[in-house]
Structure 1
Amino acid sequence: MSLTEILSNFHISETTEEIYKNTIKASEIETPIGKLIAVADDNFLYILIKLKSPDKVINTFNILQKELSSSIVIGSTKIITQLENELTEYFSGKLKSFTIPMRCLGTDFRQQSWNQLKKIAYGETMSYGELAVKLGRNVNHARAVGSAAGANPIIILVPCHRLTAQNGHLGGFSCGIDVKTWLLQHESKFKNK
């Protein structure tokens, strides 16, 4: 399903349109891991997700629209253009740290989890339990950390792919284990270059 098809299924009633005074732009970005959907205004990136599950995309759009009182339309912004450039550099192995201003919407625990995820270095991994401990929680909160990672609205830049199970297994990933494996191998290849 394309972004156009998703947005055509993402209905806004006439009364709703009157409430939303701001507009946020959504754009498709082709990458080596497949098509990504980026949603941003001229100040922040709000969403970067893989076009895998249209229902998840629509749900994420609904949350964003409600929280920001904004409509979402197809288009680009200076943030999306900057993101495209930085993703090109990342996938070529030249960029290890993104400079895109981001705003992730979620519960306090999810926000804390996502902020900790951003501290995991390029090419490194951390277990879900280790992240729970860094958050001041018991290692047994690993499932809650996994749930927060699964709800991450900005993949790659908030690197939930760097989380693994305690036993060294990959664990889950909202984009699929094949994409998680690809990203980890890609970062490992360019880590010391």
Structure 2
Amino acid sequence: MTYAVVDSPLGPLTLVGTDADELTGLYMDQQLYRPEQETFGDRDDSILPAVAEQLDEYFHHGRTTFDVPLHLRGTPFQRQIWTALQTIPYGETSTYGGLATALGLGGRSARAVGLANGKNPISIIVPCHRLVGADGKLTGYGGGLPRKRALLNHEQAQPVLVE
């Protein structure tokens, strides 16, 4: 494992990757469930150049999708949720219950979807920020609600009712 730090409008982003240039983590400063820095390996800001480039394009040049190799590490259920998150289009949102229903889990699984969503190790690229509460309001986000709001505003995502 190796990591790099890149600047973004949301503050520094830590990119964690494998020797095969697969992204295994994308973390914001003070993010919930962020692993200890020591687990990231050695710092090398030259790694994962495609990820850094695509993030820059996302924030500054209109990129709406990502196509970098990901290595999602989690339980089978978590990986199912994280894969489903990637189907929510740029500029749109879904609810926790809506995603649960779309996956055939039933609306009562919204809480389980929320817990898996909160453990997403690759923020922004696996767009966990695109899930909102049943009433359209912003709910928990590992990077903090101001960052979630900023990402949704950046994407001009609808419908979101800002508290």
TM-score of the two chains, using structure 2 as the length reference? 0.89
CA RMSD of aligned residues (A): 1.9
Map of 1:150-161 to 2, 5 A cutoff? 150-161=118-129
Map of 1:36-115 to 2, 5 A cutoff? 36-41=13-18, 42-53=20-31, 56-58=34-36, 62=39, 72-76=41-45, 78=47, 80-115=48-83
Letter in 1 for 2:93: T
Q: Residues of 1 paired with 2:101 and 2:31: CA distance?
A: 31
Q: Residues of 2 paired with 1:182 and 1:158: CA distance?
A: 16
Moved over 3 A (4+): none
Which residue of 34, 39, 59 corresponds with 2:11?
Answer: 34
Q: Percent identity?
A: 35
Is the contact between residue 40 and residue 77 of structure 1 (CA under 8 Å) also seen in structure 2?
A: no
Is the contact between residue 46 and residue 153 of structure 1 (CA under 8 Å) also seen in structure 2?
A: yes
Q: Residues of 1 paired with 2:65 and 2:108: CA distance?
A: 30
**Counterpart position of 2:161:** none
Q: Which has the larger radius of gyration?
A: 1
**Counterpart position of 1:15:** none
SS of the aligned residue for 2:151 comes to helix
User: 1:96 and 1:54, CA in 2 relative to 1: closer, same or farther beyond 3 A?
Assistant: closer
Greater relative CO, 1 or 2 (CA 8 Å, sep 6+): 2
Q: Deviations for 1:13-66, whole angstroms, at most 9, x for unmatched residues?
A: xxxxxxxxxxx211111100111110113331000010214873318x75xxxx
Which residue of 162, 172, 189 corresponds with 2:130?
Answer: 162
Q: Deviations for 1:120-169, whole angstroms, at most 9, x for unmatched residues?
A: 00010000000111221110111111111110000011000000000111
Letter in 2 for 1:83: V
Which stretch shows the higher mean deviation, 39-48 or 171-180? Answer: 39-48
Letter in 2 for 1:27: A
Q: Residues of 2 paired with 1:161 and 1:178: CA distance?
A: 11
Which residue of 94, 104, 109 corresponds with 1:141?
Answer: 109
- Larger helix share, 1 or 2: 1
* Count of matched residue positions in the alignment of Structure 1 and Structure 2: 156
Q: Residues of 2 paired with 1:54 and 1:167: CA distance?
A: 24
Is the contact between residue 150 and residue 173 of structure 1 (CA under 8 Å) also seen in structure 2?
A: yes
Q: Residues of 2 paired with 1:82 and 1:26: CA distance?
A: 14
